[in-house]
Structure 1
């Protein structure tokens, strides 16, 4: 990494230092080493986590039957993988991250708006996931360290002292993983994702044995009337999409390392919908087994582990949850804000220092205030989807309609280039973004249009896509731009 930074030092003297540094520069084709295996395992690691486990189980608590809950998961993930395929193409083609690519739609100054929005959302989720992982560490220490649980009598800002220490230790683990950049993350995810799947399947074996079958939840009918189901189902799908709304935007941060388009397409097809559906099944079967074994549907895996009163099960289970949460947090919630912060301060930050700053900011979100309120989490998920959908719509319209799938890479790093627009702001892009936000959120303020908010992510992405394509017609590329020479940048 040090040699690579030194080799590119001369470029930094030529390119605008406010728009360009080593981490934002396009990756040369010969340095793109991620195969479909890497994308499969990184998605395995991100999909299998405590919050995703609780999300699937939470659908049942809302009255969904198992079949209805699984249908919501299948539809949401089919839509997600399609959006990620489409938005990942530019990253794989040009080796550029999201904060650079978005300059085309918003202008090099206007791009900071979606970049900040996405960073805010990713850091929020980092905080929530970190708190979830710290609960597993706290449970493990409670078993191994005498007197550990007695620390709970002390609290600050609503956080018990023992959980606060566990939270700090989990924070340090994140710092260690990201301390050597994307290569360490790639190697970590290679074993972390498959490990979580194996432990999940072990939990399924226990649940089937405890319930002498799939358990009572699979015979439980839906508790929603047809009208209530029609209202709740699209909200559930939108909420599930909201979990990964940031990844729809920043998938180029990962696909820029792809050896080929085929690798990112195949890897994501295996890693996202297939493993997400499998993990939802693991969550539901395990919760069903808990209902049969303990008399209650325990949706929090940490609480479930503590019901066993078995040191061996608790140790291995807690370690798995720690690895699972660390895996999703690094991949989904540290990589994206790290690039965003580098883009904001390219003179002062590089990927590792920006990643450390991002996880430091996550503490300010006081996640323990959010984690145990399922209703609030779903409200937040809907809002996240509504806010980020319009950005995805602009990116897709810009690349596929306005630019005809061709970018001149040099222009991304020049103030006087194609993406200068009006002093760095693409007013047409901002107007289309506003149209998307209006479509996504107008149902919150006008009761007769509430159905639009139910489909906020879909409304936002379609409204911004169409409005941007129409507003940018004068800019539509009429001639094919020569393919970029990545190695020369």
Structure 2
């Protein structure tokens, strides 16, 4: 099926896409077989990980009680749900991945700017998440075979022998999964998401039994003033938005495979407000129960499983946590750079090739050294992460307010001067004028200690600022208020 046949709006009768802008992976999706459960399972894979567990558990010891954590994160996930639906609609209607969607606002060549920013962040975190999963595998191996402790006595490039064994093993497994394309990703996440729930439910039942089924829901181990509680409540919302702002930006990479927008909305509903809130609340209840039962703060589920005192329980738990971390890694940190790098050179780089480049880069940067360096994580990745909100703001305002949802998909693959998304030499200067100052402000708020009180809101502030700036810059060029034509069914 040609690009013209799959266009959201009618283009020219005969159209040949520019080979510098397309390949089979960047073209509108032919196969729309992602159902509600697939999207639901994708969210389970993304949410069910050690990072989200420790984030939610940590809030308990910052002065918030279980009810406050529940309400703040529920509000956060509802906002994320709305944002995902907005980006999901664009992906489902056009059928194209994030870097091609970015061409609508940034231009056919300017789209490489948001694509490469997203790719660099994803590659770095891909390596770090693989390393964190390998740590869980280390725990499993040492529990099953204590003699392997001798492998931890020597290191190379900052990682001991057992660490290298676990990291490379997971690196290879992930590479094998993603080398088979998005269909393999879909099947893997359908397994990963539910798997961690089984362990979490079993862990919750065990810990509640140890705590004699008495969990304080309205108190916290470290009480703070009412004013500070409200600050933490809003701060938790801001942090959860910043955490999911990465995937919110490129959610169209997944929604493009859904048969209709209703499927996207339903999958997002069960995966975000329902499942995600339930997971973090179970995490907090387990943490509160552990504090009640053992009298100490345990925010890492791997250490909590170790309290059970059974070697094979520890092995199963560590294996499940490792698989869950691989699940979120593939969803949040692999798919995006695979498409983003393909967008840079479509004639030579396919989705699979882009994925392999990403995995190799994630190994070369020695992510265990990145993770152990707070300056790298906070300043480099944190600074780049602050750019994602402004990108989201520009893309949303451009599609929904400036273009009013009317997109000619054919023209997204046309680099000729005068084509709809060529703008000025392939770049939309208004998008850059809105993005750059907004990104600078968001980065300063996120990184400079003077603004630490508002750092949690940097994503939201950057998004709002870029949206307002872009709307002002484009008010004279806003598309006439006519109903958007219905998309052509794929």
Q: Return the TM-score normalized by structure 2.
A: 0.89
Displacement, 1:460? Answer: 1.1
In the other structure, the counterpart of 1:63 is 63
- Residue 230 to residue 380, structure 1, CA distance change in 2 (3 Å): farther
CA distance in 2, matches of 1:453, 1:283: 25
CA distance in 2, matches of 1:279, 1:376: 30
| Cα root mean square deviation, aligned | 2.8
Please give the per-residue CA displacement for 1:378-436, whole angstroms capped at 9, x wherever unaligned. 88886565321111111111111111111001110011221111101111110010232
- Residue 230 to residue 158, structure 1, CA distance change in 2 (3 Å): farther
- Residue 340 to residue 367, structure 1, CA distance change in 2 (3 Å): same
Q: Do the aligned partners of 1:441 and 1:453 also contact (CA within 8 Å) in 2?
A: no
In the other structure, the counterpart of 1:477 is 479
Displacement, 1:125? Answer: 2.1
In the other structure, the counterpart of 1:198 is 198
In the other structure, the counterpart of 2:12 is none
Please give the per-residue CA displacement for 1:325-359, whole angstroms capped at 9, x wherever unaligned. 11111111111111111111212121122112212
CA distance in 2, matches of 1:431, 1:351: 31
Please give the per-residue CA displacement for 1:63-107, whole angstroms capped at 9, x wherever unaligned. 332233223322221111111111110111111111001011111
1:388 and 2:385 aligned:
no
2:387 counterpart SS class:
helix
The one of 457, 460, 474 equivalent to 2:459 is 457
In the other structure, the counterpart of 1:309 is 309
- List aligned pairs for 1:343-354, cutoff 5 A: 343-354=343-354
In the other structure, the counterpart of 1:15 is 17
Q: Do the aligned partners of 1:112 and 1:344 also contact (CA within 8 Å) in 2?
A: yes
In the other structure, the counterpart of 1:329 is 329
Q: Do the aligned partners of 1:27 and 1:486 also contact (CA within 8 Å) in 2?
A: no
Q: Do the aligned partners of 2:60 and 2:221 also contact (CA within 8 Å) in 1?
A: no
Question: Quick check: 346-355 or 451-460, which moved more?
Answer: 451-460
CA distance in 2, matches of 1:410, 1:279: 42
Q: Do the aligned partners of 1:63 and 1:224 also contact (CA within 8 Å) in 2?
A: yes
CA distance in 2, matches of 1:445, 1:341: 28
In the other structure, the counterpart of 1:181 is 181
Question: Quick check: 452-461 or 35-44, which moved more?
Answer: 452-461
Displacement, 1:129? Answer: 1.6
1:21 counterpart SS class:
coil
Runs of at least 5 residues in structure 2 that lack an aligned partner in the other structure: 7-14
2:386 counterpart SS class:
helix
In the other structure, the counterpart of 2:432 is 430
Q: Do the aligned partners of 2:94 and 2:409 also contact (CA within 8 Å) in 1?
A: yes
Q: Do the aligned partners of 1:207 and 1:285 also contact (CA within 8 Å) in 2?
A: no
- List aligned pairs for 1:67-216, cutoff 5 A: 67-215=67-215
Q: Do the aligned partners of 2:60 and 2:220 also contact (CA within 8 Å) in 1?
A: no
In the other structure, the counterpart of 2:9 is none
Q: Return the TM-score normalized by structure 1.
A: 0.89
Displacement, 1:222? Answer: 5.1
CA distance in 1, matches of 2:307, 2:176: 32
Runs of at least 5 residues in structure 1 that lack an aligned partner in the other structure: none
CA distance in 1, matches of 2:372, 2:55: 12
Displacement, 1:127? Answer: 2.1
Question: Quick check: 44-53 or 347-356, which moved more?
Answer: 347-356
- List aligned pairs for 1:245-260, cutoff 5 A: 245-260=245-260
Q: Do the aligned partners of 1:15 and 1:413 also contact (CA within 8 Å) in 2?
A: yes
- Residue 77 to residue 222, structure 1, CA distance change in 2 (3 Å): farther
Q: Do the aligned partners of 2:446 and 2:456 also contact (CA within 8 Å) in 1?
A: no
Question: Quick check: 154-163 or 391-400, which moved more?
Answer: 154-163
Displacement, 1:306? Answer: 2.7
Question: Quick check: 218-227 or 347-356, which moved more?
Answer: 218-227
CA distance in 2, matches of 1:163, 1:145: 14
Please give the per-residue CA displacement for 1:100-152, whole angstroms capped at 9, x wherever unaligned. 01011111222111111111122222222212211111111112235212211
Displacement, 1:480? Answer: 6.1
- List aligned pairs for 1:223-372, cutoff 5 A: 223-369=223-369
Displacement, 1:443? Answer: 4.0
1:279 counterpart SS class:
helix
The alignment covers a number of residue pairs equal to: 476
Q: Do the aligned partners of 1:415 and 1:424 also contact (CA within 8 Å) in 2?
A: yes
CA distance in 2, matches of 1:132, 1:283: 18
Q: Do the aligned partners of 1:402 and 1:477 also contact (CA within 8 Å) in 2?
A: yes
Displacement, 1:258? Answer: 0.4
- Residue 15 to residue 72, structure 1, CA distance change in 2 (3 Å): same
